[in-house]
Structure 1
Amino acid sequence: MSNQLSTEVEKILPEDIINALQSGYRVFRGEQEHFDDMVKHGSSLLRKISQRFTPVQIIVGIAVLASVAVVAISKTAEALEDHDTQ
């Protein structure tokens, strides 16, 4: 009889990603009451991701997401600045 623990890998569902993004967007907009939801959904998604990917893949994925976020924020800031000057 083996004493090895079997680890069940949870599937990453589209709802997991959507919930994490929605709560993150709400906190970004200033709705601080959604901060707990963002932490809960984000940590759940990160746990599931860590079961499926290697640490290097996770780091590269986070770097890509951060790059996209920086570009999106930059474009939003430019659009707001253009709107304010008109």
Structure 2
Amino acid sequence: MSTPSTQLEKDIEKILPEDIINTLQSGYKVFTGDKDQLDDLLKNGSTLLRKASQRFTTTQLILGVAVLAGLAVFAAAKATEYAEDSHH
């Protein structure tokens, strides 16, 4: 007989390294201009978010998304700065 905590652990899907790698790869491809990868980014990102939402509290998820958004803004600003410097 399984206890409720072990049953809950079985119901929660583990976040695999492949989930993170696939999301980052498709995100990079979209960032570099491959718009065909947008569907993959949405699919991989939603899978990662679904698995993360099972493991983390709402506050942890909000803080995690905020950190990722901040990093994305920083990366976009650096990429824009680099592009402008290479044109001069």
TM over 0.5: yes
* More helix as a share of residues: 2
Query: Which consecutive residues of structure 1, in runs of 5 or more, have no partner in the other structure?
Result: none
Residue in structure 1 matched with residue 67 of structure 2 by the alignment: 64
Structure 1 moving runs of 4+ over 2 Å: none
The TM-score, its normalising length taken from structure 1, stands at: 0.85
Quote the sequence identity (%).
57
Residue in structure 1 matched with residue 45 of structure 2 by the alignment: 42
The TM-score, its normalising length taken from structure 2, stands at: 0.83
CA positional deviation for 1:25: 1.6
Distance of 1:32 and 1:43 partners within structure 2: 17
Residue in structure 2 matched with residue 28 of structure 1 by the alignment: 31
CA positional deviation for 1:37: 1.1
Distance of 1:55 and 1:76 partners within structure 2: 31
Matched, 1:74 2:77: yes
Distance of 2:73 and 2:12 partners within structure 1: 31
Matched, 1:84 2:87: yes
Matched, 1:15 2:18: yes
Number of positions where the alignment pairs a residue of Structure 1 with one of Structure 2: 81
Distance of 1:81 and 1:35 partners within structure 2: 25
Distance of 2:34 and 2:59 partners within structure 1: 33
Give CA deviations for 1:3-31 in whole Å, capped at 9, x if unaligned. Answer: x8x54111111110010111122122222
Query: Which consecutive residues of structure 2, in runs of 5 or more, have no partner in the other structure?
Result: none
